[in-house]
Structure 1
Amino acid sequence: MELYYNSFSNFLTGRAMELLMIPGMSSVLFFLLAFSLFFFSTARTRRNSSYGLGSLPPGPPALPLVGNIFQIGLNPHRSLAVFSKTYGPIMSLKLGRSTAVVISSPEAAKEALKTHDPALSARTFNDPVRAFDHHTHSVVWMPASDHWRFLRKILAKHMFSPKTLDGIQSIRMRKVEELVSLVNTYCERGEAIDMARAYFVTSFNIISNALFSVDLATFNSNSSSFKFYETVVHIMEISGKANAGDYFRFLRFLDLQGIRKEATLCMEKLFRVFQEFIDDRVAKRLSQTEASTTTDILDSLLDITQQNQEEFTMKDMKHLLFDMFVAGTDTNASTMEWVMTELLRNPEKMVRAQSEIRQVIGEDGVLGESDIPKLSYLQAIVKETLRLHPPLPIIPRKSESDVQILGFLVPRNTQVLVNLWAMGQDSSVWENPMKFEPERFLSREIDVRGKDFELIPFGSGRKMCPGISMALTTMHMVLASLLYSYDWKLQNGVIPGDMDMSELSGLTLHKAKPLYGVPIKKPTVSV
């Protein structure tokens, strides 16, 4: 009984406070709480399943109707990790009227994402994803089906195949060079640069050039393309907001927070831009008398549409383009911001990485993607950052049938949340898990491509991220280029040990306060 009262004592914290800020939500929540209190003395939350196939995993006591919502807080990956220490690597919670099973160990993750991958290949999603029926057209969110497999084949063949990645290598190199040039401008001025924004614009323009052969993001806020960039950033922000309709489906149609309306407006702007590119390209293709020399992905998608008009429509194309921009930009930017944060916080690690890069490349050499395999410590730095700061700290799945994981029942239509952040902090898996120690990966062979379940930042199974190779190549090249060309320090004399490491949970896991780094021209070696 005391645990129930503790839940109420924490009512005005975490997500409850967010929900109470919504116009009209206070009365709804207080009604739910009053209703819960009415049943409080007579009802107890059952943990045994009525399916007859076993019992749900253990978990914290839940209030009637509202469940465990108010215990999750603003950083669910952390609060769920704390619960897992009490209730084990697989536990269950009630989030409003929905049941959620949380997985927090490599063993349980392997059973969920490998053994039961077919049954757990669907995803749960929040209300903004429903804008423009994105959940029914998105390769990220739709269930595994024949149409989904067709879209995945398009990604594998035309966007992320070795041939395509080799074909856009010059684009990646050019955009990295532009980033280094921008950093040099800040270096000459002695100014600090917003690291996350710099990485975001670079990643964004790599994708926009691969798709459309143009830059769609800029560091100049007065540029017309900046509006497109801002729209993508905004939809990422609102997609990570706590939403009452996700917890209580009967409230979903009201859109009390206006989040779905915001998402619809953002997607409408983006789809309008996509349509302009499509119309312009179609017109050029029709007017050309000779074979097109365009080598970007848009031409390939238009060819597929002409050949498979029923299976791949213009609507499918625009939703696919949307997925490319959203999934391929913010995650990379947040990871690279955390990389530089950890290196500035641990300067001896930065010195070691710079020494490795400059030894492999030489003092006046030219860095290329072929050099990355030689930079083992640099690769270890990226892995260690992904362990401590996974860009998507929780992977959402949904059970399409009853399954058993570690002997517990996961009923059909249950949310399955794989807590990657908790797995990265597990002391039974990692020695000194709270410390930034890239060295651990020099003596421990662990891949991040979904086979070693101790570290699966890109997911695993049929729904894992298809752009792993492109993401890793870009991150390694950006990091190596910036460490090779510059030394770095914190602005305004901030001491590394005093850095603010607080997090901001949303669609991705960002630093709460953006990192500003001051580039310093690397010292020349006298002969």
Structure 2
Amino acid sequence: MERTAFCSRSLVHSHGNVFLRRCQRWMSVVVSDTSHEPHQHSLHSSTRGIKPFKDIPGPRGLPYLGTILQYRKGPFQRFTIDRYQDALMSRYKEYGPIVKETIAGVTTVRVFDPDDVRTVFMNEDKQPHVAPLLETTKQYREQRDLSPGLGNTNGEEWYRLRGAVQQMMMRPKAVTVYLPLVEEVVDDFITRIKKIRNDDGTISDFRLEAAKWNLESSGMTCFETRLGCLVDTPSDHILHMISSNNAIFELSTKINFSVPFHRLFTTKLWQKLLDEEDYFFRNGQKLVDETIARIDRLQKEGNLREGQYNFLLYLLSKKELSIKDVSIITLSLFGDGLNTTVPSLIFAMYCLAKNPDAQQKVYEEIRGVLNADEPITGDHINRLTYLKACVKESQRILPIGLEIKRILKKDLILGGYVVPAGTTVELAPYVHYMSPEYFVEPERFLPERWLRDGSALNIHPYLLTPFGHGPRMCAGRRFAEQELYVLLSKMLKNFTLEYSGDLDMKFQVLMVPDRPTTFTFKNRNSS
């Protein structure tokens, strides 16, 4: 990589005109590939009142760069990229339910109306096409000759990978196999909370503690190995793994709102990202290799117990998966929770801490469902309906995702406009989460709205879909929900949660807490 960067810098100095011509040619290709201006479609002439793609409203920008400067030096600079959610709301208020925008050569259509979201989902086939959540990770894996993984593939390649993991990862009953492992780590984490809290019950920087719990839990699920994240002084290596994962999302956000020169040569920002990706992958791959070697040794010795190393053994048994596929699928489940499950946990805890009546109601439900010395089962989790409603309500008030991306496979009419096949569409009903048009008393934390006897029947079914929808639903959803429900149930059974001050969201591809979080854990009178 150093040689590539050196050669590129030399080219700029000694052959500037050649370099500029290369940039211009590359930019023109990107623009032509991403603008998706439609040709004459029969749909246009046969449907009256439907407007063409070119008339979709949106902000004007510079050639190729589009509106990127508005996020760096223009009207949204006051928000910074951290407040991308405010930019989304601003676009919606100015242009309405459908907006077309170009940022750094990529033209997308953003739809806000949940009816249009429904139209997109209802017109998908068995192999929907998606744009990667982390385009930078896709590029990294291409450069390192790794398997792209489920989120970075489309068509038959994606269908092959999904078919291999569907039975194990996406069916609720299959995921309950890992409940004993999840509960073991949760019990240790509850013990740790009791040990490390201050005399007044507070724990500062709880996000770091939650990240340690999540990495330890994922390590047990994927490798059936205790990583040592919950000891008093975890190794620098563990802390580096956590910080690298966070840095990948931070750097990716910056790159997404920069001119993509990293596609031409190794920029400083891109090199930083490569270093962080390398660290997390290299150490994660070491865990994969060690676990496979352990499985192989136990099999040869005849000491492999039934049900042991279930996750990796299942993947290794699938002939359609290469060892590269097995590694990336495993490492995705291992690391993804740090920027999905962890912020979801903190946002749910915050909402419960700020709404003591709801917290008390959850506690009473938990006490009635979970017995003192009985392991948690799938049936127990199914009966925690109010807890689940609290988590969903927290996902409305403090969502971890603002958009779901699709690449249309056929022309659709969205917001009264023809949007042609090949267009990247960003589904962003987030702007309505606090709207009285869609929610009764939207400012209030009301988990009851999601219960069967609440207002859920009147809520648009495509308004809040935090894990996506259909065949491209998040593959790790069942694992994430199971971890959340087990931890929250045991946490609330042991503690009353309190939080002083406010908490908001910060954008780094997904949404994370915008400040350090200090929770107070007070002992329950009875457990």
| TM-score tier after normalising by the smaller chain length | 0.7 to 0.9
Q: Residue 177 of structure 2 corresponds to which residue in structure 1?
A: 167
| 2:43 corresponds to 1:55 | no
List gaps (5 residues or longer) in structure 2.
1-8, 10-15, 21-34, 42-51
Q: What is the deviation of 1:221?
A: 6.8
In structure 2, relative to structure 1, the CA distance for the partners of 1:233 and 1:51 (3 Å cut) is farther
In structure 2, relative to structure 1, the CA distance for the partners of 1:376 and 1:144 (3 Å cut) is same
Structure 1 SS opposite 2:327? helix
Q: Residue 39 of structure 1 corresponds to which residue in structure 2?
A: none
CA contact (8 A) 1:398 1:413 kept: yes
Q: Residue 181 of structure 1 corresponds to which residue in structure 2?
A: 191
| 2:447 corresponds to 1:438 | yes
Q: Residue 211 of structure 1 corresponds to which residue in structure 2?
A: 222
In structure 2, relative to structure 1, the CA distance for the partners of 1:477 and 1:303 (3 Å cut) is same
In structure 2, relative to structure 1, the CA distance for the partners of 1:366 and 1:199 (3 Å cut) is farther
Structure 2 SS opposite 1:404? strand
CA contact (8 A) 1:104 1:422 kept: yes
Q: What is the deviation of 1:95?
A: 0.7
Q: Residue 302 of structure 1 corresponds to which residue in structure 2?
A: 316
State the alpha-carbon separation in 1 of the partners of residues 232 and 339 from structure 2. 18
State the alpha-carbon separation in 2 of the partners of residues 107 and 210 from structure 1. 38
State the alpha-carbon separation in 2 of the partners of residues 48 and 129 from structure 1. 22
State the alpha-carbon separation in 2 of the partners of residues 140 and 77 from structure 1. 27
CA contact (8 A) 2:398 2:505 kept: no
| 2:263 corresponds to 1:252 | yes
Q: What is the deviation of 1:331?
A: 0.8
Q: Residue 337 of structure 2 corresponds to which residue in structure 1?
A: 328
State the alpha-carbon separation in 1 of the partners of residues 477 and 284 from structure 2. 25
| 2:109 corresponds to 1:95 | no
State the alpha-carbon separation in 1 of the partners of residues 456 and 338 from structure 2. 25
Q: What is the deviation of 1:148?
A: 1.8
In structure 2, relative to structure 1, the CA distance for the partners of 1:163 and 1:441 (3 Å cut) is closer
Q: Which amino acid in 2 is paired with 1:131?
A: Y
State the alpha-carbon separation in 2 of the partners of residues 282 and 367 from structure 1. 27
- 1:94-140 Cα offsets, whole Å, 9 max, x none, are 11211011122211111122324568522144324311328973333
How do 1:339-378 residues align onto structure 2 when only pairs under 5 Å count? 339-361=348-370, 368-369=376-377, 370-378=379-387
Which of 501, 508, 511 does residue 509 from structure 1 map onto? 511
State the alpha-carbon separation in 2 of the partners of residues 89 and 427 from structure 1. 16
In structure 2, relative to structure 1, the CA distance for the partners of 1:283 and 1:295 (3 Å cut) is closer
State the alpha-carbon separation in 2 of the partners of residues 179 and 114 from structure 1. 42
- 1:450-481 Cα offsets, whole Å, 9 max, x none, are x9212100011221112333322321221121
State the alpha-carbon separation in 2 of the partners of residues 188 and 271 from structure 1. 33
Q: What is the deviation of 1:519?
A: 1.2
Aligned length: 471
- 1:177-197 Cα offsets, whole Å, 9 max, x none, are 112212222458444224333
Q: Which amino acid in 1 is paired with 2:104?
A: G
Q: Residue 29 of structure 2 corresponds to which residue in structure 1?
A: none
Structure 2 SS opposite 1:465? coil
Percent identity between the aligned chains? Answer: 19
CA contact (8 A) 1:399 1:412 kept: yes
Q: Residue 417 of structure 2 corresponds to which residue in structure 1?
A: 408
How do 1:86-125 residues align onto structure 2 when only pairs under 5 Å count? 86-116=94-124, 121-124=129-132, 125=134
Q: What is the deviation of 1:375?
A: 3.5
State the alpha-carbon separation in 1 of the partners of residues 284 and 70 from structure 2. 38
Q: What is the deviation of 1:213?
A: 0.9
Which of 458, 465, 476 does residue 456 from structure 1 map onto? 465
How do 1:482-521 residues align onto structure 2 when only pairs under 5 Å count? 482-490=491-499, 494=500, 499-521=501-523
State the alpha-carbon separation in 2 of the partners of residues 229 and 152 from structure 1. 32
Q: Which amino acid in 1 is paired with 2:356?
A: P
Which of 272, 280, 294 does residue 293 from structure 2 map onto? 280
In structure 2, relative to structure 1, the CA distance for the partners of 1:89 and 1:215 (3 Å cut) is farther
Moved more, 509-518 or 291-300: 291-300
| 2:72 corresponds to 1:84 | no
| 2:316 corresponds to 1:314 | no
In structure 2, relative to structure 1, the CA distance for the partners of 1:408 and 1:175 (3 Å cut) is same
State the alpha-carbon separation in 2 of the partners of residues 286 and 343 from structure 1. 47
State the alpha-carbon separation in 2 of the partners of residues 140 and 153 from structure 1. 10
Q: What is the deviation of 1:83?
A: 1.2
Q: Residue 66 of structure 2 corresponds to which residue in structure 1?
A: 67
State the alpha-carbon separation in 1 of the partners of residues 296 and 382 from structure 2. 43
Q: What is the deviation of 1:76?
A: 2.1
State the alpha-carbon separation in 2 of the partners of residues 181 and 234 from structure 1. 27
State the alpha-carbon separation in 2 of the partners of residues 361 and 301 from structure 1. 33
State the alpha-carbon separation in 2 of the partners of residues 221 and 100 from structure 1. 47
State the alpha-carbon separation in 1 of the partners of residues 375 and 456 from structure 2. 25
Q: Residue 38 of structure 1 corresponds to which residue in structure 2?
A: none
Q: What is the deviation of 1:88?
A: 2.0
In structure 2, relative to structure 1, the CA distance for the partners of 1:137 and 1:374 (3 Å cut) is same
The CA RMSD measured in Å over matched residues stands at: 3.6
Q: What is the deviation of 1:412?
A: 4.5
Q: What is the deviation of 1:206?
A: 2.6
CA contact (8 A) 2:109 2:424 kept: yes
Q: What is the deviation of 1:381?
A: 0.9
CA contact (8 A) 2:100 2:108 kept: yes
CA contact (8 A) 2:344 2:395 kept: yes
List gaps (5 residues or longer) in structure 1.
1-22, 33-46
In structure 2, relative to structure 1, the CA distance for the partners of 1:366 and 1:486 (3 Å cut) is farther
Q: Residue 149 of structure 1 corresponds to which residue in structure 2?
A: 159
CA contact (8 A) 1:195 1:517 kept: yes
Q: Residue 206 of structure 2 corresponds to which residue in structure 1?
A: 195
Q: Which amino acid in 1 is paired with 2:358?
A: K
Which of 269, 279, 287 does residue 282 from structure 2 map onto? 269
CA contact (8 A) 1:126 1:239 kept: no
Q: Which amino acid in 2 is paired with 1:301?
A: L
Q: What is the deviation of 1:268?
A: 4.1
Q: What is the deviation of 1:168?
A: 1.5
State the alpha-carbon separation in 1 of the partners of residues 422 and 92 from structure 2. 22
State the alpha-carbon separation in 2 of the partners of residues 521 and 291 from structure 1. 41
Moved more, 279-288 or 474-483: 279-288
In structure 2, relative to structure 1, the CA distance for the partners of 1:423 and 1:466 (3 Å cut) is farther
CA contact (8 A) 1:114 1:460 kept: no
Structure 1 SS opposite 2:497? strand
After TM superposition, the score normalised by the length of structure 2 is 0.78
State the alpha-carbon separation in 2 of the partners of residues 361 and 158 from structure 1. 26
Structure 1 SS opposite 2:102? strand
Q: Residue 140 of structure 1 corresponds to which residue in structure 2?
A: 150
State the alpha-carbon separation in 2 of the partners of residues 340 and 321 from structure 1. 28
Q: Residue 28 of structure 2 corresponds to which residue in structure 1?
A: none
State the alpha-carbon separation in 1 of the partners of residues 522 and 302 from structure 2. 52
State the alpha-carbon separation in 2 of the partners of residues 366 and 292 from structure 1. 24
State the alpha-carbon separation in 1 of the partners of residues 250 and 150 from structure 2. 16
State the alpha-carbon separation in 1 of the partners of residues 124 and 94 from structure 2. 25
Structure 1 SS opposite 2:478? helix
CA contact (8 A) 2:64 2:105 kept: yes
State the alpha-carbon separation in 1 of the partners of residues 273 and 498 from structure 2. 41
State the alpha-carbon separation in 2 of the partners of residues 219 and 420 from structure 1. 38
